[in-house]
Structure 1
Amino acid sequence: MQPKARKAYVPGLAALLVVVVAGCSGGSGADGAVADAKPGGPTTATAAQPGKYRTLREPCGSVPRSMLKDLLPGAASLPEDQQAKVYEGTAAVTYDTDRRVGCSWKAVSPEASNQLMIDLERVVSYDPAVSDADRAQEVYAKKETAADLPASTPSGTPGGLPSATGSGAGTGMDTASGTNTQTGSPSGSPTGAPSGSGAPSDGTTPDGLEPRVLESLGDAAFLDDVLARPGAAAQQRTVSVVFRTSNVIVTVRYTEQPAHPTVVPDSKELQDRARELARTLNEQLNE
């Protein structure tokens, strides 16, 4: 009886081994990839392309010294050691320098104080169906909407996203009262304002220099220009240029506050300097 039991067991074991081997060989392709065992089951979706940029440049060294001298004219009158400290800049505190970096500079002279800030953000999409560049465009679009560009801005930005219109925060309009909160400077030509410059006597932004979408800068870009009164005896103009290149968003913010309360900061001059720096940063990203 004992030999018969052994003969009955061996064939059963062999059959089990055949099933296991057949299952292993039938579930693998020639390249070793495991196939979907369910007929008609979902196939693996193609992942969206990663962003062009995987790291970010060191920000404080990204602005050429010659450009800093133009942007921060007050530094020229300082002793050499203090000039070097001003041009060195102050790096922004961030927790991941591969995702976000920034730097700021400030110089004060008897005529005016100038501040410069740059911010670079590398956007990463955690949705495999959405590319890093597409996600960056969504982030950029929110920034443009927050800037609240005037309604005269073209109806679409590069990439097909609509331009922002709204309450008028970026234009200085108080929708409740219908007044411009950025005006209030004395009538007539402000003392010290260059003749024919972009500094109207009423403190508004000149025609053609309004906040607007910019062409030929990165994949999408806009400029904002805000004149405000931080104090009773000062007028401060801040020009911001924001642009996107692939999955990196760059912000340049340039501020001037004249020492004399009747002087209105020159809009064209500040815009030209901010745009030139933005173009330089864009070129560096494409090197």
Structure 2
Amino acid sequence: MRRRADAPRPAARRTIWPAALALGAVLVSGCTASDGPDGAAPDSKAGDGAGQAAAPGRYRTLLEPCGSVPRATLRELLPGAAALSDKQRERVYRGTPAVTYDTDRRAGCAWKADGPDASHQLILDFERVVSYDPAVSDDARAQQVYTGKESAVLPAAPPTAPAAPSTPAKPDGSAEPGSPPAAASPSAGGSGDSSAPAGGAPRPSASGKPGGSGPLAPPGESASTEGLQPRVLTGLGDAAFLDDVLSRAGSTAQHRTVSVVFRTSNVVVTIRYGEQPARITEVPDSAELQEKAQSLARALAERFDE
């Protein structure tokens, strides 16, 4: 049957395309998913209510160790190099880099010069510490590494033994029966050595004399080591300590090594400076070696602060 020309047309069916729905969902989610200020997305590291990750350390790279010590300083620390030929002296001052797999994490260098009067050796070690725990900062992890080194050299003082109870005495001055015998004192002829730790021999002191006396020190050397013993240093980096050890190299020669370790942010620096005199009757001067090692440490700390 034919439809009349003036009859109204039926309304067309509307088709909703899936692509249009998907686009609408994207626009809606883009407007509502941002909870940060100014429409910024929240930190993806935060997780479900987790706190912000610990801050990274100050240093992302290390100094090149063989080039970190000026020639003038090397001439002072390695006096034996002055007697060498130009080619040999250049080789000494160039240093020998340590073998490492990642110079941004660990780097080192060593120098050695043998002279007519003494041999000197300098070793540098730079370690950049990185914490892989998001709750622990690089600086905190570096402090843990430093503390382990310090504790190996400067152990905590042993607890003080409680004082022995006084011994009751009779009117005539003799002790009561059953009372423990009084401890012998050094002034009373006792053989105890208060400088030796319990259970072992004392560690060589800065003068090389365990407990104040010993075979390492030749006759005539001063027994005073006040201010030269291994100790914590102040005013150097964030934390620092010094070690001083005198030992024998071979059967006769005496060798002293002074170590200075300091932390600056997430980098731990270790300096070892040693001397071995040519004559067996000589002992390396502790004060001189310590001053030179500390002077180099201060210069390196300033380089890291640049």
User: Is the structural similarity TM-score above 0.5?
Assistant: yes
Name the counterpart of 1:95: 101
Name the counterpart of 1:33: 41
Name the counterpart of 1:75: 81
Q: Does 1:145 align with 2:172?
A: no
Q: For residues 237 and 150 of structure 1, what CA distance do their matches in structure 2 show?
A: 24
Q: Deviations over 1:133-170 (max 9, x none)?
A: 11111110001011135849xxxxxxxxxxxxxxxxxx
Q: In the TM superposition, what are the counterparts of 1:5-16 in structure 2 within 5 Å?
A: none
Q: Does 1:53 align with 2:59?
A: yes
Name the counterpart of 2:4: none
User: Displacement, 1:186?
Assistant: 5.3
Q: Deviations over 1:242-277 (max 9, x none)?
A: 000001110000011111112111000100000000
RMSD between aligned residues: 3.2
Q: Does 1:228 align with 2:234?
A: no
Q: Deviations over 1:161-193 (max 9, x none)?
A: xxxxxxxxxxx967544355654135422xxxx
Query: Does the Cα contact within 8 Å between 1:258 and 1:264 map onto a contact in 2?
Result: yes
**Gaps (5+ residues) in structure 2?**
1-12, 159-194, 209-213
Q: Does 1:128 align with 2:128?
A: no
Name the counterpart of 1:169: none
Query: Does the Cα contact within 8 Å between 2:246 and 2:257 map onto a contact in 1?
Result: yes
Q: Does 1:218 align with 2:237?
A: yes
Q: For residues 55 and 40 of structure 2, what CA distance do their matches in structure 1 show?
A: 24
How many residue pairs match? The answer is 247
Specify whether residues 174 and 93 from structure 1 end up closer, same or farther in structure 2 by C-alpha distance, changes over 3 A only: farther
What SS class does the counterpart of residue 136 from structure 2 fall into? coil
Q: For residues 23 and 76 of structure 2, what CA distance do their matches in structure 1 show?
A: 81
Query: Does the Cα contact within 8 Å between 1:185 and 1:201 map onto a contact in 2?
Result: no
User: Displacement, 1:25?
Assistant: 5.1
Q: Which amino acid aligns with 1:210?
A: Q
Q: Does 1:185 align with 2:216?
A: yes
Query: Does the Cα contact within 8 Å between 1:150 and 1:212 map onto a contact in 2?
Result: no
Q: For residues 155 and 203 of structure 2, what CA distance do their matches in structure 1 show?
A: 15
Query: Does the Cα contact within 8 Å between 1:120 and 1:248 map onto a contact in 2?
Result: yes
What SS class does the counterpart of residue 60 from structure 1 fall into? helix
**Gaps (5+ residues) in structure 1?**
1-6, 153-171, 190-199
Specify whether residues 25 and 268 from structure 1 end up closer, same or farther in structure 2 by C-alpha distance, changes over 3 A only: same
Query: Does the Cα contact within 8 Å between 2:262 and 2:269 map onto a contact in 1?
Result: yes
Q: Deviations over 1:206-240 (max 9, x none)?
A: 21100000000000000000011121111110000
Q: For residues 53 and 116 of structure 1, what CA distance do their matches in structure 2 show?
A: 24
Name the counterpart of 1:272: 291
Query: Does the Cα contact within 8 Å between 1:28 and 1:34 map onto a contact in 2?
Result: yes
Q: For residues 227 and 252 of structure 1, what CA distance do their matches in structure 2 show?
A: 16
Q: In the TM superposition, what are the counterparts of 1:185-204 in structure 2 within 5 Å?
A: 185=216, 187-189=218-220, 200=221
Q: Which amino acid aligns with 1:33?
A: A
Q: For residues 214 and 78 of structure 1, what CA distance do their matches in structure 2 show?
A: 36
Give the TM-score normalised by the residue count of structure 1: 0.75
* Aligned match for 2:90, one of 78, 84, 87: 84
Over the matched positions of the two proteins, sequence identity in percent amounts to: 55
Query: Does the Cα contact within 8 Å between 1:185 and 1:262 map onto a contact in 2?
Result: no
Query: Does the Cα contact within 8 Å between 2:217 and 2:283 map onto a contact in 1?
Result: no
Q: For residues 50 and 232 of structure 1, what CA distance do their matches in structure 2 show?
A: 49
Name the counterpart of 1:104: 110
Range moving further from structure 2, 213-222 or 13-22 = 13-22
What SS class does the counterpart of residue 81 from structure 1 fall into? helix
Q: For residues 228 and 35 of structure 1, what CA distance do their matches in structure 2 show?
A: 56
